[in-house]
Amino acid sequence: MRYELYYWPGIQGRGEFVRLALEEADAPYIDVARRKAGMSKMQRLLESKTIAHPPFAPPFLKAGPLLIAQTANILLFLGNRHALAPKTEAGRLWTHQLQLTIADFVTEAHDTHHPIASSLYYEDQKAEARRAAKAFREERLPKFLGYFERVLARARGPYLNGRALSYADLSLFQTVEGLRYAFPRAMARAEKKLPRVIALHDRVRERPRIAAYLASKRRLAFNQAGIYRRYPELDP
């Protein structure tokens, strides 16, 4: 069985958290909307009046008869299927808890450039974005990353769960990547206090399948349409 991933083409976005898990698991998948006629296939699914479990928004994953949406939910599913999460109930809940905390962090990072509404242009909320980004850089970014640094300090190994990699580690890697792209100056300052987070990031980057993925054309570059955008005025 090949998975079918549905996500907006042209950006990493939330789809990237799913891609990283699929790549690390070496699971066969099609990135549907990046193929010919893929966007209209995705739109048809989003607008379908008959599917029983309609997604609210991309990303969603077709896994045989299942159609699963919400990034953290897709990872919950893939984590169990591909040993990207612990087997115990306590371990699975903890990994999911970390993922949901990363999801909150990602939303806040996105909202720095769209604090008023996602439907408005950045240019129409630039002054507000400047204020929102200041609070994010000074309060939220250190708070979230400091939290993961503390979690890693208590883990009995280099990963959030200790010795075994989980999808939450892949997501934390991606979060660091995105923050470095969007807030290079703020991150350069913050990273001095985050040795464990950065060590985890580097370790994930060097895993053979992740390294091969990052070097491939399947990995899109960050750009000004995604969650993480580089506006110098938001990172003075």
Binding site for its own copies (CB under 8 A): 52-56, 65-66, 68-70, 72-73, 76-77, 89-90, 93-94, 96-97, 100-101, 104, 107, 111, 115-117, 119-120, 125, 128, 131-132, 135-136, 139, 144, 147, 150-151, 154
Alpha helices in the chain (DSSP H): 15-24, 38-47, 71-81, 89-111, 126-135, 141-154, 167-182, 184-190, 195-205, 208-214
Cβ nearer to its own copies, comparing 91 with 219: 91
Residue 53 CB, nearest approach to its own copies (Å):
5
Cβ nearer to its own copies, comparing 36 with 123: 123
Cβ nearer to its own copies, comparing 123 with 216: 123
Cβ nearer to its own copies, comparing 117 with 221: 117
Contact 149, 3 (CB under 8 A): no
Q: Which pair of structure tokens corresponds to residue 201?
A: 């990031």
Residue type, 216: S
Residue 121 CB, nearest approach to its own copies (Å):
12
Residue 40 CB, nearest approach to its own copies (Å):
20
Cβ nearer to its own copies, comparing 42 with 210: 42
Residue 215 CB, nearest approach to its own copies (Å):
32
Residue 214 CB, nearest approach to its own copies (Å):
28
Cβ nearer to its own copies, comparing 73 with 219: 73
State how beta strands 66-69 and 29-31 pair: unpaired
d(CA 213, CA 45): 28
101-126 b/e with 16+ CB inside 10 Å = b?
Answer: bbbebbebbbbbbbbeeeeeeeeebe
Cβ nearer to its own copies, comparing 85 with 210: 85
d(CA 55, CA 34): 19
Residue 50 CB, nearest approach to its own copies (Å):
8
Residue 17 CB, nearest approach to its own copies (Å):
13
Map residue 114 onto helix, strand or coil. coil
d(CA 33, CA 112): 27
Query: Measuring CA to CA, which residue among 112, 139, 118 is closest to residue 228?
Result: 112
